[in-house]
Chain A
Amino acid sequence: MTAGGVLRTALSLLLVALVLWPHAFAPVFAPFAPERGPVIYDRVSLLSLSLSHLGLVAAASSLAALVAVTLAILVTRPAGAAFRPLSRTLTNVGQTFPPVAVLALAVPMLGFGAWPTLVALFLYGLLPIFENAMTALSTLPPRTLEAARGMGMGRFQRLWQVELPLAAPVILAGVRLSVVIGLGTATIGSTVAARTLGEVIIAGLLTNNTAFVLQGGLIVGLFAVLIYDALVRLEARIARRAGAGSARAG
């Protein structure tokens, strides 16, 4: 196994242990807990918090990917070019709006719980995917596109068989960015009663319990690192298939 493989396995095992058997880590976190206070967060199972945290990010990112890629496809067609500046502005605004403000605005409409968080994560996830998809779709090799047109492929055939597969690695890089941002941002969803790992961190902040903060932060951080790494490797695989890797040894 390579050094990277060893590290990856070690981190995965650490994460699984932290989520399933948090009490085993009590001696490690004890120095950070207040005197006679609890060391390990056990009001709710960390597994169920992790699953709902990941589920929320997955749902928001999938939705953002679907909308952003569709939008990018539309504005890179000749007929949609006029809407390009407008859609860029919109997705940029989505990004500059602080997620806390989105939560505050969404709660009166959607109530407490997962929905406002989903909206915030979705808006936050749009921009990186849209920008990447638009760049990828408008910088495809012109000769390949010309060949596709010249051999009599229809518009949809060109999109499905040529443009999207060739743009896939760059689009996926945008999705990766959006997922990682989402994993971190989802923690503040706990302030509006969404069930995320933020609950552990916020409980720690409210009771001055650094042990909780460390615990929650460590789990979220490990998820982010491992998911990021998995997506990078998936991208490399797809890029090689798309010919960008050009690795003869491949």
Chain B
Amino acid sequence: MIEIDRITKVYDDTTVVDEVSMTVETGTITVIVGTSGSGKTTLLRMINRLVEPSSGEVRINGEVTRDIPTHLLRRRIGYAIQGHGLFPHHTVARNIAAVPRLLGWPKDKIARRVDELLTLFGMEPAAFRDRYPAELSGGQQQRVGVARALASRPDLLLMDEPFGALDPIIRGRAQEDLRAIQQKLGSTIVLVTHDMEEAIRLGDRVGVMDGGRLVQHGPPEEIVARPANAFVAEMVGDAERPMRLLSLIPVRGLVEPGAAGGDPVPEGASLRDALSACLWTGRDAVPVERGGAVVGRITLDAIRGRVEHRA
């Protein structure tokens, strides 16, 4: 568990991060979202002390970070930044191995970990291990950057706009991969973005920052359904709200018995997917399947009811 306790950063006379407190539970993703200059990066960098807080403290599993020597603290915290920051003069394997090497892991353990991570990120170890970063696509560089940050199984992974440089399709895939890998490894992640869509899609918790203050912090459903103020409402985008909400709710909960015609949707799909299946094929209900077998149907009325109920 990471506890951020009234942490503040003041440069000269400007307060860049203003008494931000939040708790990040182990094994969850917290996404910090806000406009440019709202203090997101500064907040993130105070966690691994690349920026020293002016006041307040951060505790990792109860341990105050101020009391840990910075280089040791940073070796426990994975850090992935926009534009990946890979070492151009080291191979992919050596890049991923960076922190394990600093920690003095034995060679064979490092080699196994490198291959394991490459496989996890869908990059054939034999084909990628010995390449240099310049010999990878942008998306592959990004994945190696995240793999490097995860290599030593850190207590915490900090990610600063890790997908900012990717095109929308690769970006969507990278987000799904991150979600899957996080669930598999049980990692604790704090991720910074200025994209509310990304925040809602990835976060177990979303924190919205404005002018250095944390103006709302909660599950994404709550941010979408009950924005704390006009700024958050604007970030969420009023017109988009129903769709955003639908994209957060799985079909599973609204399945009812009965038959419907046409292609089925999986029960893990979102209500947004179900709605779009209805609209696209002009149906009032679509069948729902689990593991290839139809288990019931979901109706347009039920979807509408769910959104109205929330609003």
A residues contacting B by CB (< 8 A) are: 141, 143-144, 146-154, 157, 162, 165-166, 241-248, 250
Contacts and interface: CB of A to CB of B under 8 A. Distances in A.
Question: Which of A144, A162, A247, A250 has the most chain B CB within a 10 Å cutoff?
Answer: A144
Contacts of A147: 79, 81, 84-87, 145
Interface residues of B, number: 28
Nearest to B74: A152
Interface in B134-150: 134-135, 145, 148-149
A146 B41 CA distance: 13
Contacts of A166: 88-89
The 10 A-B residue pairs whose C-beta atoms are closest, nearest first, are A243-B88, A147-B85, A152-B74, A246-B134, A152-B75, A150-B79, A143-B85, A242-B89, A152-B71, A243-B134
Nearest to A144: B85
A143 B81 CA distance: 8
Given A146-B50, A147-B81, A248-B135, A152 B72 contact: yes
A154 B71 contact: yes
Interface of B: 48, 50, 70-75, 79, 81-89, 98-99, 102, 132-135, 145, 148-149
A144 B134 CA distance: 13
B98 A151 contact: yes
Given A151-B98, A151-B102, A144 B86 contact: yes
A136 to B, nearest CB: 13
Contacts of A153: 71, 98, 102
Contacts of B82: 143
Contacts of B135: 246, 248, 250
Contact of A243 (B50, B83, B132): B132
A149 B73 CA distance: 11
A247 B135 CA distance: 7
Nearest to B151: A151
A146 B89 contact: no
26 contacts: A141-B88, A143-B81, A143-B83, A144-B86, A144-B87, A146-B81, A147-B79, A147-B85, A148-B87, A149-B50, A149-B74, A150-B50, A150-B74, A150-B81, A150-B85, A151-B75, A152-B74, A153-B71, A162-B87, A165-B89, A166-B88, A166-B89, A243-B88, A243-B134, A246-B134, A248-B135
